Structure 1
Amino acid sequence: MNYKQKILWAGLFSFYAFGVSAQNTAYSWTNLPKIQQPVFKKDTTSIVSLGAKADGITLNTKAINDAIEKVSKKGGGVVLVPAGLWLTGPIEMKSNVNLHLKESATLLFTPDKSQYGLTEGVYEGKTAARNQSPVSGVNLENIAITGKGVLDGNGDVWRAVNKGQLTESQWKEKVASGGVLKDDGTVWYPSEQFKTASVTGKSMLITPGKTPQDFADMKDFLRPNLVVFTNCKKILLEGVTFQNSPAWCLHPLMCQDLTLKNVRVKNPEYAHNGDGMDIESCKNFLIEGCVLDVGDDAICIKSGKDEEGRKRGIPTENGIIRNNIVYNGHGGFVVGSEMSGGARNIFVENCTFMGTDKGLRFKSVRGRGGVVENIFARNIFMKDIAQEAIFFDLYYFVKFATDGVRDQSPVVSESTPVFRNMRFENIVCNGAKKGIFVRGLPEMRVKNIHMENMVLKADKGAELIDSDGIVVKNIKFITEKTNPVILVDNSSALTLSGIEYNSDSELLVSVSGDKTGTIKMEHTDVSKARKKSEFSKGAAEKSLVISK
């Protein structure tokens, strides 16, 4: 059986389970994943007892790490960070330790980059040289960062910034702070070393025979993620503010039983790779009551990139994401694009996205591979979305005008991404460029996405391209540009039911493509539109079946 046949049979089985009843799947809204919580001894050790000073000048790295080591060796407990400004270098967590920040406590990570050693890490799903993360832990169990304090990564000393991302006064202040400019004066770099690595496109990936020390000549370029936990179990982040990360903010990797509760995550809008939470190849997780305002994707699901991710073969699965608020961000809830290990059984509900670029965002590209399935979202409320409210695109970063890739149809293989079997309901969006955008691949369409009970106010309604089995039911499109309300291109087995739209719409449905199959439109008053349908590029008029 070849790869395409395996995908087909797996899809048929999954579609049967998905289509018959959510109760037949491993999880449902009434049977959500269970996440185990860490448990700690009440024994408490203050970092002050190990010599830490809250003067904002003293480097407290040793005192904090000594306290963590001491508590862990004693069998666990609480390491207390009292109110104050505590300057520190990298902190290494240990098992059975709860690092607790009292209200008004700030851990400020030093701008002295020599304190962060070169290490082997992961950058966008691949093994790479990085600077040591401000907070890290490997192969640990029962760990937590709790309280009402702040962890500040001092990210501005690490990252480059484009002139166009700052106001004139901010740009002048940035230039006066030091660093160097790109030759055309449009980008500020922290150092000449950073500029050289960036302009020449130096790779940070660790290939066979290389070690992190081989990248010493570009160390300044290797921005760390603020918090990285790798292969850990029973993790709790609660109540704390994580901000100003050099790159991604919170990055659990290959972890199990992860809880992020009532945390605040903040990065500047201009922060390159300024993601909020990147849950990568993790199993059993809860993200609840969090507030994010970041420079890239906010709550993001990942599982490795391309062949390396497929070889790792660890999906991100069994997750609950609820009662969160996202302000700035490239996407509110995001899957991809590094999803080569797959993602499944994820439940998103009662979330608010205000001013994000996109709302529910799913992205990938040929070469990734991986299967993303059984994603459920309900009660999602959006306002002032800059682009699409619901977005699927398997041409991430592909430039059609120059390479014509969309016209190609490669053979399906393990490197072909698969997005299928999802249900979104009870969604309101007040303001977007497009309400719904779905674009699969000719050789692997986006399949079996059920969207129901929505009110979408946007410039355009819906575009369904290279998709199969899409259900759009009981959706009200309030559109500014009404030609057409719904565009269909090379898609099949579509159901458009109970569609409401502006009474002055010029065109209800535009159908194109000679690979377009049956489109059922039902329970919809097609007479409100000046023209109910048009067909182009080989699409047959009989493909659209309209019934009451």
Structure 2
Amino acid sequence: MRSFLYPVSSLLTLALLLWSCTPASGPVAHQSIEVEAPFDMPAITVPDFSNCVRLNIVDFGADPDDLEATSAALAAAFEEASAAGGGVVLVPPGTWPSKALHFKSHVNLHLEEGAVLEFSGNPEHYLPAVPTSWEGMECYNYSPLIYAYECENVAITGAGKLRAKMETWRRWFPRPEAHMEGLKQLYHMAAQGVPVEERQMVRDDINMRPHFIQFNRCQNVLMEGVSIENSPFWVIHPYLCSDVVVRGVQVNAHGHNNDGVDPEMTQNMLVEDCVFDQGDDAIAVKSGRNQDAWRLNTPTRNLVVRNCRVKNGHQLLAIGSELSGGVENVLLDNCVVEEGAKMFHLVFIKTNERRGGFVRNIYVQNIKAGNIRDGVLGIETDVLYQWRNLVPTYERRLTSISDITLKNVEIGDVKFVSQVLADPEAPVKNIVLDQVRYGVLSQEPHIHEHVEGFEER
């Protein structure tokens, strides 16, 4: 056997060379994002995966022609990335089929440019049922297409696309008798305090569509750069989360209930530089419904939306009607609604006598929009839709609404500038419209019932 002896200095040089050629690998780091707002906005903490291991799903057996293999590869890569304390799961260019994708902590799903992660339209691929929610009521339902439960340090990034196949979900858009019966059952169970694990909604053709992306009870969440096409239900739903950033995301989803982003009982969140082209509201702020929200007692607080563009949507900013946990400290800044967006209101706050909760400290500024079907600001406190006669009021709680400011808004033709229809027992208080400019007005500029403190500058 030959032996080789090297000087210590040479061994040190060789070690340094090998270290410099090895890809960096380590735990998840963090970035702190400071956000200016007219309220006390904490810095937002998001994960930084730049020093983490990178795992290509092809190396785990992903096959663009094999749904089972690709789903298994994604799950295995997520498992390994999480076990390493942080990892980037790479989806390379191509179209990759997937079943429900369940996150683990410390994982970044990264879609490279040209990559499409296409989610099955078969409801069986979203079972077993998971703890989730339906319009503010907790239950067990089909898994969201992408689902993170009680995770921390999770991200979806890259220039690729997430796409939902819609053949089944599209057939579920109507609300036939079996579906409505299921909704009524869930309403009664929530009102009566039935444990969530007993609210099993995958049965009897109830057909409650899943969210596309739900971060449920998560912390330190980042979405950046990806585009999203189609959705069975709400598109991006941070639920009971803290420290969330959605940046540079494009949404193109024109199905039923396709809100762009639905922050619900979520705190310290930034949405910026996004493009929304969807069939419902662009930003729909929620905080749970009735007894469930009173039990959870978690307001949506400290939300900033800025530098976004809306191509289509019912409202630029909607608050409610599921707002029983309360909504406060919201800033919408420097956004554009394109001409022809078929928008109803720029800002719409809706509630009813069953909700309780509160809405306060809402700031909307530096907005440009084309023609709007109804008006700049709408507030209505008796919005019940089909629920008015379907189910009873278990407990009457009115919503307090106050301190709404719109500043530097330039808009096209409208029916009215503001319409506020409040309950005489709970007047809306302190509305300021500052430099709100509009085109042709077809009705009275301000239609108000039970408003205390209205100022137009």
TM-score (ref. length: structure 1): 0.70
**Residue of structure 1 in register with 2:178 after alignment:** 197
CA shift for structure 1 position 210 = 7.7
Task: Name 1:540's counterpart in structure 2.
Answer: none
Cα deviation for residue 225 of structure 1 reads 0.2
Shift in alpha-carbon separation, 1:56–1:104, aligned structure 2, 3 A:
farther
Shift in CA distance, 30/255, structure 1 to aligned 2, threshold 3 Å: closer
Q: Which residue of 1 aligns with 2:12?
A: none
Change (3 A) 1:35 1:215: closer
Question: How big is the alpha-carbon RMSD for the aligned residues of Structure 1 and Structure 2?
Answer: 2.5
Task: Confirm whether residue 467 of structure 1 aligns to residue 451 of structure 2.
Answer: yes
Distance in 1, Cα, partners of 2:232 & 2:284: 17
Contact 2:139 2:197 in 1 (8 A): no
Q: Map residues 186-335 of structure 1 onto 2, 5 A cutoff.
A: 195=176, 197-198=178-179, 203=184, 205=186, 208=194, 211=197, 214-218=200-204, 221-268=207-254, 271-335=255-319
Measure the CA separation in 1 of the matches of 2:379 and 2:451: 10
- Describe the SS at the equivalent of 1:78: strand
Matched with 1:387 is 374
Unaligned runs of 5+ in 1: 1-26, 163-186, 188-193, 404-409, 474-548
Distance change >3 Å, CA 39–CA 383, structure 1 → 2? same
Relative to structure 1, the CA distance from residue 60 to residue 446 in structure 2 (aligned partners, 3 Å threshold; closer, same or farther) is: same
Aligned partner of 1:533 in structure 2 is: none
Q: What is the identity, as a one-letter code, of the residue corresponding to 1:417?
A: T
Change in 2 beyond 3 A, CA 1:216/1:450: closer
What is aligned with 2:353?
366
Deviations 1:313-344 (A, max 9, x none): 10111111100111221211111110011111
How far off is 1:199 after superposition?
Answer: 6.5
CA contact (8 A) 1:129 1:204 kept: no
In structure 2, runs of 5+ residues without a counterpart are: 1-35
User: Counterparts of 1:300 and 1:80 in 2: how far apart (Å)?
Assistant: 31
Q: Is the 8 A contact 2:119 2:164 kept in 1?
A: yes
Residues 206-257 of structure 1 show CA distances to partners (whole Å, capped at 9, x for unaligned) of 5627856854433561210001111111100000012211111111111000
Q: Please list the CA deviations of residues 381-402 of structure 1 after superposition, one character each: whole Å capped at 9, or x if unmatched.
A: 1112122221111121369xx9
1:282, 1:73 → 2: CA distance?
A: 27
* 2:45 equivalent in structure 1: 36
Distance 1:280 1:398, change over 3 A: closer
Give the letter aligned to residue 259 of structure 1: V
Matches of 2:424 and 2:48 in 1, distance apart?
A: 50
Q: 1:97 to 1:57 in 2, by over 3 A?
A: closer
1:139-154 aligned at under 5 Å gives the runs 139-154=150-165
Q: State yes or no: 1:88 paired with 2:98.
A: yes
Q: 1:388·1:436 contact (CA, 8 Å) conserved in 2?
A: yes
C-alpha change, 1:33 and 1:348, in structure 2 (3 Å) is farther
In structure 2, the residue corresponding to 1:224 is in which secondary structure? coil
Separation (CA, whole Å) in 2 of partners of 1:414 and 1:264? 39
Paired residue secondary structure (2:425): coil
- The verdict on how the C-alpha distance between 1:219 and 1:301 changes in structure 2, with shifts beyond 3 A counting, is same
Alignment partner of 1:417 is 2:402: no
Letter in 1 for 2:400: V
* 1:173-213 superposed Cα distances (whole Å, 9 cap, x missing partner): xxxxxxxxxxxxxx6xxxxxx85523656546256278568
> What is the distance in 1 between the residues matched to 2:435 and 2:180?
48
Corresponding residue of 2:58: 48
Residues of 2 paired with 1:225 and 1:239: CA distance? 20
2:413 counterpart of 1:431: yes
Letter of the structure 1 residue corresponding to residue 410 of structure 2: V
Task: Report SS of the residue matched to 1:318.
Answer: strand
Residues 331 and 361, structure 1, Cα contact 8 Å, conserved in 2: yes
State the structure with bigger RCO (CA 8 A, min sep 6), 1 or 2. Answer: 2
Instruction: Give the aligned residue type for 2:360.
Output: E
Kept in 1: contact 2:315–2:347 (CA 8 A): yes
Shift of 1:357: 1.9
Pairing partner for 1:129 from 130, 140, 145:
140
Deviations 1:435-454 (A, max 9, x none): 21111111101100111111
How do residues 43-82 of structure 1 correspond to structure 2 at under 5 angstroms? 43-55=53-65, 60-82=70-92
**Distance apart, 1:129 and its partner CA:** 3.5
Question: Would you say 1:455 and 2:442 are equivalent positions?
Answer: no
1:440 to 422, 429, 434: 422
Say which SS state the counterpart of residue 468 (structure 1) adopts: strand
In 2, distance between residues paired with 1:229 and 1:158? 21
Change (3 A) 1:273 1:204: farther
- Quote how far apart the aligned CAs of 1:358 are: 1.5
Q: Contact (CA 8 Å) 2:140, 2:196: kept in 1 or not?
A: no
Distance 2:91 2:184 in 1: 38
Pairwise CA distance, 1:143: 0.6
Q: How far apart, in 2, do the equivalents of 1:160 and 1:417 lie?
A: 36
Residue aligning to 1:499: none
Instruction: Provide the secondary structure at the position in 2 that maps to 1:374.
Output: strand
How far did residue 94 of structure 1 move? 1.1
**Are 1:232 and 1:254, in contact at CA under 8 Å, matched by a contact in 2?**
yes
8 Å Cα contact 2:179-2:206 kept in structure 1: no
Query: 1:102 & 1:91 partners in 2: Cα distance?
Result: 17
Matches within 5 A, 1:172-187: none
Give the paired residue count: 406
8 A Cα contact 1:227 1:250, kept in partner: yes
Q: 2-side partners of 1:80 and 1:424: how far apart?
A: 43
Q: Whole-Å Cα distance in 2 between the matches of residues 127 and 245 of structure 1?
A: 20
Alignment-mate amino acid for residue 81 of structure 1: V
The one-letter code matched in structure 1 to 2:414 is A
Please show how residues 520-531 of structure 1 align to structure 2 within 5 Å: none
Q: Name the amino acid aligned to 1:371.
A: F
Q: Deviations over 1:17-43 (max 9, x none)?
A: xxxxxxxxxx85386442112122331
Tell me how far apart the structure 1 counterparts of residues 98 and 233 of structure 2 sit (CA, whole Å). 18
1:78-132, Cα deviation, whole Å (9 max, x unpaired): 1000011000001111111110000111111112221111233211111133211
CA distance in 2, matches of 1:222, 1:382: 34
Contact 2:219 / 2:242 at 8 angstroms: preserved in 1? yes
Shift of the 463–82 alpha-carbon distance from structure 1 to 2, 3 Å rule, reads same
